[in-house]
Structure 1
Protein backbone atom coordinates (compact mmCIF):
# COMPACT_ATOMS: atom_id res chain seq x y z
CA UNK A 1 0.00 0.00 0.00
CA UNK A 2 1.44 3.39 -1.04
CA UNK A 3 0.39 6.14 1.37
CA UNK A 4 0.23 9.49 -0.45
CA UNK A 5 -1.29 11.60 2.36
CA UNK A 6 -2.20 11.00 5.98
CA UNK A 7 -3.65 13.74 8.20
CA UNK A 8 -4.85 13.05 11.74
CA UNK A 9 -6.48 14.91 14.63
CA UNK A 10 -6.74 13.53 18.15
CA UNK A 11 -9.15 14.27 20.99
CA UNK A 12 -8.26 13.45 24.59
CA UNK A 13 -5.23 11.47 23.38
CA UNK A 14 -7.14 9.24 20.96
CA UNK A 15 -7.49 9.30 17.19
CA UNK A 16 -10.67 11.10 16.14
CA UNK A 17 -10.41 12.28 12.52
CA UNK A 18 -8.26 10.91 9.70
CA UNK A 19 -7.86 11.83 6.07
CA UNK A 20 -6.03 9.18 4.08
CA UNK A 21 -5.02 9.21 0.42
CA UNK A 22 -3.63 5.90 -0.83
CA UNK A 23 -2.59 4.53 -4.20
CA UNK A 24 -4.08 1.11 -5.03
CA UNK A 25 -3.65 -1.74 -4.80
CA UNK A 26 -4.15 -1.72 -1.05
CA UNK A 27 -5.66 -3.94 1.60
CA UNK A 28 -6.53 -2.81 5.11
CA UNK A 29 -7.99 -5.17 7.73
CA UNK A 30 -9.73 -3.69 10.78
CA UNK A 31 -8.35 -4.92 14.10
CA UNK A 32 -10.61 -5.73 17.04
CA UNK A 33 -10.82 -2.55 19.16
CA UNK A 34 -13.29 -0.89 21.51
CA UNK A 35 -14.42 1.71 18.96
CA UNK A 36 -16.51 2.09 15.83
CA UNK A 37 -15.35 3.74 12.61
CA UNK A 38 -17.23 5.88 10.12
CA UNK A 39 -15.59 5.82 6.66
CA UNK A 40 -16.50 8.29 3.94
CA UNK A 41 -15.25 7.64 0.41
CA UNK A 42 -14.31 11.14 -0.71
CA UNK A 43 -12.68 10.08 -3.97
CA UNK A 44 -12.36 6.81 -5.86
CA UNK A 45 -13.93 3.54 -4.83
CA UNK A 46 -13.09 0.41 -2.93
CA UNK A 47 -14.45 -2.93 -1.83
CA UNK A 48 -15.27 -3.92 1.71
CA UNK A 49 -15.14 -7.53 2.78
CA UNK A 50 -17.06 -8.97 5.67
CA UNK A 51 -17.56 -12.64 6.47
CA UNK A 52 -15.80 -13.57 3.19
CA UNK A 53 -18.27 -11.55 1.11
CA UNK A 54 -17.11 -8.47 -0.85
CA UNK A 55 -19.25 -5.47 -1.79
CA UNK A 56 -18.56 -2.36 -3.83
CA UNK A 57 -18.18 0.92 -1.97
CA UNK A 58 -18.38 3.92 -4.38
CA UNK A 59 -17.48 7.58 -3.97
CA UNK A 60 -19.70 9.76 -1.73
CA UNK A 61 -20.93 6.70 0.18
CA UNK A 62 -20.24 5.97 3.84
CA UNK A 63 -19.59 2.85 5.85
CA UNK A 64 -20.10 2.41 9.59
CA UNK A 65 -18.14 -0.41 11.21
CA UNK A 66 -18.26 -1.68 14.76
CA UNK A 67 -14.71 -2.83 15.38
CA UNK A 68 -15.64 -4.79 18.52
CA UNK A 69 -15.97 -7.77 16.17
CA UNK A 70 -13.45 -8.79 13.52
CA UNK A 71 -13.27 -10.07 9.92
CA UNK A 72 -13.80 -6.70 8.23
CA UNK A 73 -11.54 -5.31 5.53
CA UNK A 74 -11.40 -2.60 2.88
CA UNK A 75 -9.36 -2.98 -0.29
CA UNK A 76 -8.87 -1.90 -3.88
CA UNK A 77 -6.96 -3.91 -6.46
CA UNK A 78 -8.82 -2.90 -9.62
CA UNK A 79 -7.39 0.57 -10.32
CA UNK A 80 -4.28 2.67 -9.76
CA UNK A 81 -6.15 5.97 -9.27
CA UNK A 82 -5.67 7.51 -5.80
CA UNK A 83 -8.36 6.81 -3.23
CA UNK A 84 -9.25 9.43 -0.61
CA UNK A 85 -10.97 8.30 2.59
CA UNK A 86 -12.11 10.28 5.63
CA UNK A 87 -12.36 8.24 8.83
CA UNK A 88 -14.10 9.25 12.06
CA UNK A 89 -13.54 7.16 15.19
CA UNK A 90 -16.20 6.69 17.86
CA UNK A 91 -14.55 5.84 21.19
CA UNK A 92 -16.97 5.00 24.03
CA UNK A 93 -14.80 6.82 26.59
CA UNK A 94 -14.80 10.02 24.51
CA UNK A 95 -18.53 9.82 23.83
CA UNK A 96 -19.27 9.44 27.54
CA UNK A 97 -17.03 12.43 28.29
CA UNK A 98 -18.55 14.84 25.76
CA UNK A 99 -22.10 13.78 26.69
CA UNK A 100 -21.49 14.06 30.43
CA UNK A 101 -25.19 14.27 31.37
CA UNK A 102 -26.91 11.81 29.05
CA UNK A 103 -25.98 9.92 25.89
CA UNK A 104 -28.05 10.83 22.80
CA UNK A 105 -30.65 8.32 21.63
CA UNK A 106 -28.46 7.15 18.73
CA UNK A 107 -25.99 5.66 21.24
CA UNK A 108 -28.57 3.93 23.44
CA UNK A 109 -29.56 0.31 22.93
CA UNK A 110 -32.94 0.21 21.14
CA UNK A 111 -35.73 -1.55 22.99
CA UNK A 112 -37.23 -4.76 21.61
CA UNK A 113 -34.75 -5.03 18.75
CA UNK A 114 -32.69 -8.21 18.71
CA UNK A 115 -29.73 -7.80 16.38
CA UNK A 116 -25.97 -8.33 16.23
CA UNK A 117 -25.46 -6.21 13.10
CA UNK A 118 -22.03 -4.54 13.04
CA UNK A 119 -21.74 -3.00 9.58
CA UNK A 120 -23.95 -0.66 7.55
CA UNK A 121 -23.45 1.14 4.25
CA UNK A 122 -24.95 4.63 3.95
CA UNK A 123 -25.68 5.71 0.39
CA UNK A 124 -24.96 9.16 -0.99
CA UNK A 125 -26.40 11.45 1.71
CA UNK A 126 -26.49 15.19 0.99
CA UNK A 127 -26.09 16.36 4.60
CA UNK A 128 -23.16 14.04 5.25
CA UNK A 129 -21.55 15.11 1.98
CA UNK A 130 -21.75 18.76 3.05
CA UNK A 131 -20.40 17.85 6.50
CA UNK A 132 -17.35 16.18 4.93
CA UNK A 133 -16.79 19.18 2.64
CA UNK A 134 -16.72 21.37 5.76
CA UNK A 135 -14.34 18.97 7.48
CA UNK A 136 -11.91 19.33 4.56
CA UNK A 137 -11.45 22.98 5.54
CA UNK A 138 -10.10 21.93 8.94
CA UNK A 139 -7.74 19.36 7.41
CA UNK A 140 -6.40 22.15 5.19
CA UNK A 141 -6.13 24.52 8.18
CA UNK A 142 -5.14 22.22 11.07
CA UNK A 143 -4.16 25.06 13.42
CA UNK A 144 -7.82 26.02 13.97
CA UNK A 145 -8.87 22.44 14.72
CA UNK A 146 -9.03 23.04 18.47
CA UNK A 147 -10.58 20.82 21.16
CA UNK A 148 -13.93 22.64 21.27
CA UNK A 149 -14.27 22.43 17.49
CA UNK A 150 -13.36 18.73 17.51
CA UNK A 151 -16.12 18.08 20.04
CA UNK A 152 -18.63 20.10 18.03
CA UNK A 153 -17.76 18.26 14.80
CA UNK A 154 -18.05 14.88 16.56
CA UNK A 155 -21.48 15.80 17.94
CA UNK A 156 -22.51 17.11 14.53
CA UNK A 157 -21.82 13.84 12.70
CA UNK A 158 -23.73 11.91 15.37
CA UNK A 159 -26.69 14.22 14.86
CA UNK A 160 -26.50 13.86 11.07
CA UNK A 161 -26.31 10.06 11.32
CA UNK A 162 -29.48 10.12 13.42
CA UNK A 163 -31.24 11.91 10.54
CA UNK A 164 -30.36 9.38 7.84
CA UNK A 165 -32.75 6.62 6.70
CA UNK A 166 -30.20 4.21 8.22
CA UNK A 167 -30.61 5.63 11.74
CA UNK A 168 -32.11 2.48 13.30
CA UNK A 169 -29.30 0.23 12.06
CA UNK A 170 -26.68 2.84 12.99
CA UNK A 171 -28.12 2.90 16.51
CA UNK A 172 -27.84 -0.89 16.74
CA UNK A 173 -24.16 -0.71 15.78
CA UNK A 174 -23.12 2.25 17.94
CA UNK A 175 -25.04 1.10 21.02
CA UNK A 176 -22.91 -2.07 21.05
CA UNK A 177 -20.03 0.12 22.22
CA UNK A 178 -21.86 0.49 25.54
CA UNK A 179 -23.81 -2.76 25.70
CA UNK A 180 -21.85 -5.81 24.54
CA UNK A 181 -24.64 -8.38 24.94
CA UNK A 182 -24.73 -10.68 21.91
CA UNK A 183 -27.74 -12.69 20.83
CA UNK A 184 -27.66 -16.29 19.66
CA UNK A 185 -28.42 -17.15 16.05
CA UNK A 186 -31.80 -18.66 16.97
CA UNK A 187 -32.75 -15.65 19.10
CA UNK A 188 -32.22 -13.31 16.16
CA UNK A 189 -34.03 -15.52 13.66
CA UNK A 190 -37.05 -16.18 15.86
CA UNK A 191 -37.36 -12.53 16.88
CA UNK A 192 -37.85 -11.63 13.20
CA UNK A 193 -39.91 -14.59 11.98
CA UNK A 194 -42.99 -12.47 11.34
CA UNK A 195 -41.27 -9.36 10.07
CA UNK A 196 -41.07 -8.22 6.46
CA UNK A 197 -37.27 -8.44 6.39
CA UNK A 198 -35.59 -9.94 3.35
CA UNK A 199 -33.15 -12.83 3.79
CA UNK A 200 -30.29 -10.38 3.20
CA UNK A 201 -31.56 -8.05 5.95
CA UNK A 202 -32.04 -10.95 8.34
CA UNK A 203 -28.49 -12.12 7.60
CA UNK A 204 -27.24 -8.62 8.50
CA UNK A 205 -28.95 -8.86 11.88
CA UNK A 206 -27.11 -12.13 12.58
CA UNK A 207 -23.86 -10.45 11.53
CA UNK A 208 -23.30 -12.93 8.70
CA UNK A 209 -23.14 -12.81 4.92
CA UNK A 210 -26.11 -14.31 3.07
CA UNK A 211 -24.19 -17.47 2.16
CA UNK A 212 -22.97 -18.03 5.74
CA UNK A 213 -26.45 -17.27 7.09
CA UNK A 214 -28.02 -19.92 4.85
CA UNK A 215 -25.45 -22.53 5.93
CA UNK A 216 -25.97 -21.71 9.61
CA UNK A 217 -29.75 -21.75 9.15
CA UNK A 218 -29.63 -25.24 7.63
CA UNK A 219 -27.66 -26.48 10.65
CA UNK A 220 -30.26 -25.21 13.12
CA UNK A 221 -33.50 -25.80 11.20
CA UNK A 222 -32.68 -28.43 8.57
CA UNK A 223 -34.45 -26.26 6.00
CA UNK A 224 -33.88 -23.19 3.84
CA UNK A 225 -34.66 -19.78 5.38
CA UNK A 226 -37.32 -18.97 2.76
CA UNK A 227 -39.16 -22.27 3.20
CA UNK A 228 -39.03 -22.37 7.01
CA UNK A 229 -40.00 -18.73 7.55
CA UNK A 230 -42.84 -18.87 5.03
CA UNK A 231 -44.25 -22.00 6.72
CA UNK A 232 -44.11 -20.38 10.17
CA UNK A 233 -45.84 -17.25 8.87
CA UNK A 234 -48.65 -19.31 7.33
CA UNK A 235 -49.07 -21.40 10.48
CA UNK A 236 -49.40 -18.23 12.52
CA UNK A 237 -51.89 -16.82 10.00
CA UNK A 238 -54.02 -19.99 10.28
CA UNK A 239 -53.99 -19.65 14.07
CA UNK A 240 -55.07 -16.01 13.90
CA UNK A 241 -57.85 -16.81 11.42
CA UNK A 242 -59.34 -19.25 13.94
CA UNK A 243 -58.67 -17.43 17.22
CA UNK A 244 -59.21 -13.78 16.29
CA UNK A 245 -61.64 -11.55 14.46
CA UNK A 246 -58.91 -9.64 12.66
CA UNK A 247 -59.49 -8.86 9.01
CA UNK A 248 -57.54 -10.99 6.53
CA UNK A 249 -55.57 -7.91 5.43
CA UNK A 250 -54.49 -7.26 9.05
CA UNK A 251 -53.50 -10.90 9.54
CA UNK A 252 -51.43 -10.85 6.35
CA UNK A 253 -49.43 -7.82 7.51
CA UNK A 254 -49.16 -9.08 11.11
CA UNK A 255 -47.59 -12.28 9.81
CA UNK A 256 -45.01 -10.47 7.70
CA UNK A 257 -46.62 -10.51 4.25
CA UNK A 258 -46.51 -7.19 2.44
CA UNK A 259 -48.89 -8.27 -0.32
CA UNK A 260 -52.38 -9.66 0.42
CA UNK A 261 -52.70 -11.40 -2.95
CA UNK A 262 -49.41 -13.21 -2.39
CA UNK A 263 -50.53 -14.14 1.12
CA UNK A 264 -53.83 -15.57 -0.15
CA UNK A 265 -52.11 -17.63 -2.84
CA UNK A 266 -49.45 -18.96 -0.44
CA UNK A 267 -52.12 -19.80 2.15
CA UNK A 268 -54.27 -21.63 -0.40
CA UNK A 269 -51.25 -23.61 -1.65
CA UNK A 270 -50.38 -24.60 1.94
CA UNK A 271 -53.82 -25.48 3.35
CA UNK A 272 -56.04 -26.10 0.31
CA UNK A 273 -58.42 -23.28 1.28
CA UNK A 274 -58.36 -19.55 0.76
CA UNK A 275 -57.98 -17.63 4.06
CA UNK A 276 -61.67 -16.67 4.12
CA UNK A 277 -62.84 -20.23 3.33
CA UNK A 278 -60.41 -21.67 5.88
CA UNK A 279 -61.86 -19.44 8.60
CA UNK A 280 -65.42 -20.30 7.59
CA UNK A 281 -65.03 -24.06 7.26
CA UNK A 282 -62.76 -24.62 10.28
CA UNK A 283 -64.89 -22.51 12.64
CA UNK A 284 -68.01 -24.41 11.55
CA UNK A 285 -66.36 -27.81 11.72
Structure 2
Protein backbone atom coordinates (compact mmCIF):
# COMPACT_ATOMS: atom_id res chain seq x y z
CA UNK A 1 0.00 0.00 0.00
CA UNK A 2 1.30 3.46 -0.92
CA UNK A 3 1.51 5.62 2.23
CA UNK A 4 2.94 8.78 0.70
CA UNK A 5 3.94 9.94 -2.76
CA UNK A 6 5.60 13.18 -3.87
CA UNK A 7 6.33 13.82 -7.53
CA UNK A 8 7.61 16.43 -9.96
CA UNK A 9 6.63 16.60 -13.63
CA UNK A 10 8.61 17.92 -16.59
CA UNK A 11 6.82 18.66 -19.88
CA UNK A 12 3.77 16.72 -18.68
CA UNK A 13 5.64 13.57 -17.57
CA UNK A 14 6.54 12.44 -14.06
CA UNK A 15 10.33 12.68 -13.73
CA UNK A 16 11.11 12.50 -10.01
CA UNK A 17 9.20 10.67 -7.28
CA UNK A 18 9.62 9.88 -3.60
CA UNK A 19 7.33 7.04 -2.56
CA UNK A 20 6.72 5.46 0.84
CA UNK A 21 5.11 2.01 0.67
CA UNK A 22 3.99 -0.29 3.46
CA UNK A 23 5.08 -3.91 3.15
CA UNK A 24 4.15 -6.33 1.80
CA UNK A 25 3.78 -4.99 -1.70
CA UNK A 26 4.31 -6.13 -5.26
CA UNK A 27 4.38 -3.63 -8.09
CA UNK A 28 4.10 -4.50 -11.79
CA UNK A 29 6.08 -2.22 -14.06
CA UNK A 30 4.23 -1.42 -17.27
CA UNK A 31 6.83 0.87 -18.82
CA UNK A 32 6.41 0.72 -22.60
CA UNK A 33 8.72 3.65 -23.36
CA UNK A 34 10.59 4.28 -20.15
CA UNK A 35 13.61 3.39 -18.09
CA UNK A 36 13.64 3.86 -14.36
CA UNK A 37 16.29 4.53 -11.67
CA UNK A 38 15.26 3.47 -8.14
CA UNK A 39 17.19 4.34 -4.99
CA UNK A 40 16.30 2.72 -1.65
CA UNK A 41 16.08 5.19 1.22
CA UNK A 42 14.52 2.71 3.64
CA UNK A 43 13.78 -1.01 3.56
CA UNK A 44 14.67 -3.47 0.83
CA UNK A 45 13.08 -4.58 -2.42
CA UNK A 46 13.51 -7.74 -4.44
CA UNK A 47 13.34 -7.31 -8.19
CA UNK A 48 12.75 -10.12 -10.63
CA UNK A 49 12.66 -10.10 -14.42
CA UNK A 50 12.62 -12.85 -17.02
CA UNK A 51 16.44 -13.05 -16.93
CA UNK A 52 17.61 -11.59 -13.62
CA UNK A 53 16.76 -11.52 -9.92
CA UNK A 54 18.34 -9.18 -7.36
CA UNK A 55 17.81 -7.60 -3.95
CA UNK A 56 18.26 -3.86 -3.48
CA UNK A 57 18.98 -2.88 0.16
CA UNK A 58 19.04 0.59 1.68
CA UNK A 59 21.46 3.12 0.10
CA UNK A 60 21.71 1.09 -3.12
CA UNK A 61 19.99 1.54 -6.45
CA UNK A 62 18.91 -0.24 -9.60
CA UNK A 63 18.38 0.88 -13.19
CA UNK A 64 15.57 -0.94 -15.01
CA UNK A 65 15.31 -1.74 -18.70
CA UNK A 66 12.90 0.15 -20.93
CA UNK A 67 9.89 -1.81 -22.13
CA UNK A 68 10.31 -4.08 -19.12
CA UNK A 69 6.67 -5.20 -18.84
CA UNK A 70 7.56 -8.59 -17.48
CA UNK A 71 9.16 -7.74 -14.17
CA UNK A 72 8.04 -7.62 -10.58
CA UNK A 73 9.19 -5.53 -7.65
CA UNK A 74 8.43 -7.11 -4.28
CA UNK A 75 9.20 -5.92 -0.78
CA UNK A 76 11.27 -8.04 1.56
CA UNK A 77 9.91 -8.99 4.96
CA UNK A 78 12.74 -7.23 6.81
CA UNK A 79 11.14 -3.79 6.93
CA UNK A 80 7.58 -2.58 7.39
CA UNK A 81 8.12 0.61 5.41
CA UNK A 82 9.96 0.99 2.13
CA UNK A 83 10.93 4.44 0.90
CA UNK A 84 12.14 4.83 -2.66
CA UNK A 85 13.36 7.73 -4.80
CA UNK A 86 12.57 7.17 -8.48
CA UNK A 87 13.91 8.94 -11.57
CA UNK A 88 12.03 8.27 -14.81
CA UNK A 89 13.73 8.43 -18.21
CA UNK A 90 11.27 9.19 -21.03
CA UNK A 91 12.77 9.17 -24.55
CA UNK A 92 10.68 12.13 -25.73
CA UNK A 93 11.81 14.21 -22.74
CA UNK A 94 15.44 13.24 -23.26
CA UNK A 95 15.28 14.17 -26.94
CA UNK A 96 13.82 17.53 -25.98
CA UNK A 97 16.40 18.47 -23.34
CA UNK A 98 19.38 17.27 -25.38
CA UNK A 99 18.01 18.31 -28.79
CA UNK A 100 20.28 16.49 -31.30
CA UNK A 101 23.23 16.02 -28.94
CA UNK A 102 22.33 12.86 -26.98
CA UNK A 103 25.09 11.64 -24.64
CA UNK A 104 27.01 8.53 -25.68
CA UNK A 105 25.29 6.46 -22.98
CA UNK A 106 22.05 6.61 -25.04
CA UNK A 107 23.76 5.49 -28.25
CA UNK A 108 23.40 1.87 -29.27
CA UNK A 109 26.57 -0.14 -28.43
CA UNK A 110 28.20 -2.40 -31.02
CA UNK A 111 26.95 -5.52 -29.26
CA UNK A 112 23.76 -5.83 -27.21
CA UNK A 113 23.06 -8.51 -24.62
CA UNK A 114 19.30 -9.07 -24.70
CA UNK A 115 19.46 -10.83 -21.31
CA UNK A 116 20.41 -7.64 -19.47
CA UNK A 117 17.22 -6.27 -17.93
CA UNK A 118 18.67 -4.21 -15.12
CA UNK A 119 21.85 -2.95 -13.52
CA UNK A 120 22.40 -2.76 -9.79
CA UNK A 121 24.25 0.35 -8.68
CA UNK A 122 26.06 -0.29 -5.41
CA UNK A 123 26.91 2.17 -2.66
CA UNK A 124 28.26 5.04 -4.80
CA UNK A 125 29.28 8.23 -2.98
CA UNK A 126 28.34 10.62 -5.79
CA UNK A 127 24.95 8.95 -6.28
CA UNK A 128 24.30 9.28 -2.53
CA UNK A 129 25.11 13.00 -2.64
CA UNK A 130 22.82 13.41 -5.63
CA UNK A 131 19.96 11.75 -3.74
CA UNK A 132 20.58 14.02 -0.74
CA UNK A 133 20.18 16.99 -3.08
CA UNK A 134 16.91 15.61 -4.47
CA UNK A 135 15.56 15.09 -0.98
CA UNK A 136 16.23 18.74 -0.21
CA UNK A 137 14.03 19.75 -3.14
CA UNK A 138 11.30 17.29 -2.12
CA UNK A 139 11.29 19.08 1.24
CA UNK A 140 11.32 22.52 -0.41
CA UNK A 141 8.95 22.30 -3.41
CA UNK A 142 8.73 26.09 -3.75
CA UNK A 143 12.32 26.05 -5.10
CA UNK A 144 11.46 23.74 -8.00
CA UNK A 145 11.18 25.06 -11.55
CA UNK A 146 11.53 23.64 -15.07
CA UNK A 147 15.18 24.65 -15.49
CA UNK A 148 16.15 23.00 -12.21
CA UNK A 149 14.38 19.75 -13.16
CA UNK A 150 16.27 19.65 -16.46
CA UNK A 151 19.57 20.19 -14.61
CA UNK A 152 18.84 17.44 -12.08
CA UNK A 153 17.83 14.99 -14.83
CA UNK A 154 21.03 15.69 -16.76
CA UNK A 155 23.05 15.37 -13.56
CA UNK A 156 21.91 11.81 -12.78
CA UNK A 157 22.63 10.78 -16.37
CA UNK A 158 26.15 12.21 -16.06
CA UNK A 159 26.69 10.33 -12.80
CA UNK A 160 25.44 7.05 -14.30
CA UNK A 161 27.98 7.50 -17.09
CA UNK A 162 30.74 7.54 -14.49
CA UNK A 163 29.76 4.47 -12.47
CA UNK A 164 31.69 1.23 -12.83
CA UNK A 165 28.58 -0.29 -14.47
CA UNK A 166 28.50 2.33 -17.24
CA UNK A 167 28.79 -0.29 -20.01
CA UNK A 168 25.77 -2.21 -18.73
CA UNK A 169 23.87 1.02 -18.12
CA UNK A 170 24.45 1.97 -21.76
CA UNK A 171 22.97 -1.39 -22.81
CA UNK A 172 19.79 -0.49 -20.91
CA UNK A 173 19.43 3.22 -21.72
CA UNK A 174 20.21 2.81 -25.42
CA UNK A 175 17.06 0.72 -25.73
CA UNK A 176 14.96 3.76 -24.87
CA UNK A 177 15.28 4.62 -28.54
CA UNK A 178 14.67 1.09 -29.85
CA UNK A 179 11.98 -0.36 -27.56
CA UNK A 180 11.08 -4.04 -27.74
CA UNK A 181 7.73 -5.20 -29.12
CA UNK A 182 5.79 -8.01 -27.45
CA UNK A 183 2.97 -10.18 -28.71
CA UNK A 184 -0.47 -10.11 -27.09
CA UNK A 185 0.03 -13.55 -25.54
CA UNK A 186 3.48 -12.63 -24.19
CA UNK A 187 1.97 -9.66 -22.38
CA UNK A 188 -0.82 -11.76 -20.87
CA UNK A 189 1.22 -14.81 -19.89
CA UNK A 190 3.94 -12.74 -18.27
CA UNK A 191 1.48 -10.59 -16.32
CA UNK A 192 -0.72 -13.36 -14.92
CA UNK A 193 0.58 -13.11 -11.36
CA UNK A 194 1.08 -9.35 -11.20
CA UNK A 195 -1.28 -6.78 -9.75
CA UNK A 196 -2.04 -5.27 -13.15
CA UNK A 197 -5.58 -4.05 -13.66
CA UNK A 198 -7.51 -4.79 -16.82
CA UNK A 199 -6.94 -1.20 -17.94
CA UNK A 200 -3.18 -1.56 -17.47
CA UNK A 201 -3.11 -4.82 -19.45
CA UNK A 202 -5.06 -3.13 -22.25
CA UNK A 203 -2.59 -0.24 -22.19
CA UNK A 204 0.35 -2.64 -22.46
CA UNK A 205 -1.27 -4.18 -25.52
CA UNK A 206 -1.98 -0.72 -26.99
CA UNK A 207 -5.70 -1.49 -27.11
CA UNK A 208 -8.84 0.09 -25.74
CA UNK A 209 -10.46 -1.92 -22.94
CA UNK A 210 -13.27 -3.17 -25.20
CA UNK A 211 -10.80 -4.15 -27.95
CA UNK A 212 -8.59 -5.84 -25.36
CA UNK A 213 -11.49 -8.00 -24.14
CA UNK A 214 -12.36 -9.00 -27.71
CA UNK A 215 -8.74 -9.87 -28.47
CA UNK A 216 -8.51 -11.86 -25.25
CA UNK A 217 -11.64 -13.85 -26.11
CA UNK A 218 -10.25 -14.57 -29.57
CA UNK A 219 -6.92 -15.83 -28.15
CA UNK A 220 -8.12 -17.72 -25.06
CA UNK A 221 -11.83 -18.40 -25.64
CA UNK A 222 -12.49 -17.06 -22.16
CA UNK A 223 -12.97 -13.78 -20.36
CA UNK A 224 -9.83 -12.10 -18.96
CA UNK A 225 -11.14 -12.20 -15.37
CA UNK A 226 -12.03 -15.91 -15.46
CA UNK A 227 -8.85 -17.03 -17.25
CA UNK A 228 -6.51 -15.04 -15.02
CA UNK A 229 -8.29 -16.10 -11.82
CA UNK A 230 -8.07 -19.80 -12.77
CA UNK A 231 -4.40 -19.55 -13.70
CA UNK A 232 -3.62 -17.88 -10.38
CA UNK A 233 -5.52 -20.52 -8.41
CA UNK A 234 -3.80 -23.34 -10.31
CA UNK A 235 -0.41 -21.75 -9.59
CA UNK A 236 -1.32 -21.42 -5.91
CA UNK A 237 -2.36 -25.08 -5.77
CA UNK A 238 0.95 -26.12 -7.30
CA UNK A 239 2.90 -24.04 -4.77
CA UNK A 240 0.89 -25.52 -1.90
CA UNK A 241 2.04 -28.96 -3.08
CA UNK A 242 5.75 -28.24 -3.46
CA UNK A 243 6.48 -25.23 -1.24
CA UNK A 244 6.57 -24.69 2.52
CA UNK A 245 5.84 -20.99 2.12
CA UNK A 246 3.09 -19.51 4.26
CA UNK A 247 -0.34 -19.56 2.61
CA UNK A 248 -0.48 -15.77 2.90
CA UNK A 249 2.77 -15.44 0.93
CA UNK A 250 1.63 -17.93 -1.71
CA UNK A 251 -1.61 -16.02 -2.20
CA UNK A 252 0.32 -12.77 -2.52
CA UNK A 253 2.84 -14.23 -4.98
CA UNK A 254 -0.01 -15.50 -7.16
CA UNK A 255 -1.64 -12.09 -7.42
CA UNK A 256 -4.16 -12.18 -4.55
CA UNK A 257 -3.94 -9.23 -2.18
CA UNK A 258 -6.79 -10.38 0.08
CA UNK A 259 -6.30 -13.69 1.91
CA UNK A 260 -10.01 -14.10 2.68
CA UNK A 261 -10.91 -13.60 -0.99
CA UNK A 262 -8.18 -16.05 -2.02
CA UNK A 263 -9.49 -18.68 0.41
CA UNK A 264 -13.05 -18.26 -0.86
CA UNK A 265 -12.05 -18.56 -4.52
CA UNK A 266 -9.75 -21.51 -3.77
CA UNK A 267 -12.56 -23.37 -2.00
CA UNK A 268 -14.92 -22.74 -4.91
CA UNK A 269 -12.42 -24.26 -7.36
CA UNK A 270 -10.95 -27.14 -5.31
CA UNK A 271 -13.78 -27.83 -2.81
CA UNK A 272 -11.49 -27.36 0.19
CA UNK A 273 -9.50 -24.67 1.95
CA UNK A 274 -5.85 -23.98 0.99
CA UNK A 275 -4.65 -25.49 4.29
CA UNK A 276 -6.76 -28.61 3.82
CA UNK A 277 -5.50 -28.93 0.23
CA UNK A 278 -1.89 -28.72 1.39
CA UNK A 279 -2.50 -31.34 4.08
CA UNK A 280 -4.18 -33.70 1.61
CA UNK A 281 -1.28 -33.41 -0.81
CA UNK A 282 1.33 -34.03 1.89
CA UNK A 283 -0.52 -37.24 2.90
CA UNK A 284 -0.37 -38.69 -0.60
TM class by shorter chain equals 0.5 to 0.7
Aligned to 2:88: 89
**Aligned-partner SS, 2:18:** strand
In the other structure, the counterpart of 1:127 is 126
Contact 1:35 1:92 in 2 (8 A): yes
CA contact (8 A) 2:24 2:80 kept: no
Q: Deviations over 1:58-81 (max 9, x none)?
A: 111111112313211111151452
Matched, 1:113 2:111: yes
- Residues 45 and 77 of structure 1: is their aligned pair in 2 closer, same or farther, counting only changes over 3 Å? closer
TM-score, normalised by the number of residues in structure 1:
0.60
Q: Distance in 1 between matches of 2:129 and 2:52?
A: 31
Cα distance in structure 2, aligned partners of 1:123 and 1:113: 24
1:119 deviation in Å? Answer: 1.0
Q: Which of the pair has more CA radius of gyration?
A: 1
1:118 positional shift? 2.4
Q: Gaps spanning 5+ residues in structure 1: where? A: 183-285
Question: Measured at CA, do residues 7 and 181 of structure 1 come closer, stay the same or move farther in structure 2, by a change above 3 Å?
Answer: closer
Aligned to 1:43: 42
Task: For 2:38 and 2:82, locate their aligned partners in 1 and report how far apart those are by CA, in whole Å.
Answer: 12
Q: How do residues 216-231 of structure 1 correspond to structure 2 at under 5 angstroms? A: none
Alignment: residue pair count: 180
8 Å contact from structure 2 (residues 32, 179) kept in 1 = no
Residue equivalent to 2:58: 59
Please report how far the alpha carbon of residue 127 of structure 1 lies from its aligned counterpart in structure 2 after TM superposition.
Answer: 0.4
* Cα distance between partner residues in 1 of 2:25 and 2:63: 20
Give CA-to-partner distance per residue, 1:125-183, whole Å, 9 cap, x none: 1100100001000000111110000000000000000000000110110000113479x
Across the aligned residues of Structure 1 and Structure 2, the Cα RMSD in angstroms comes to 1.7
Counterpart check, 1:31 vs 2:23? no
- TM-score for both structures, normalised by structure 2: 0.60
Give the distance between the partners of 1:147 and 1:131, measured in 2 at CA. 18
Which range moves more in the overlay, 72-81 or 23-32? 72-81
Q: Does the C-alpha gap of structure 1 residues 162 and 146 become closer, same or farther in structure 2, counting only changes over 3 Å?
A: same
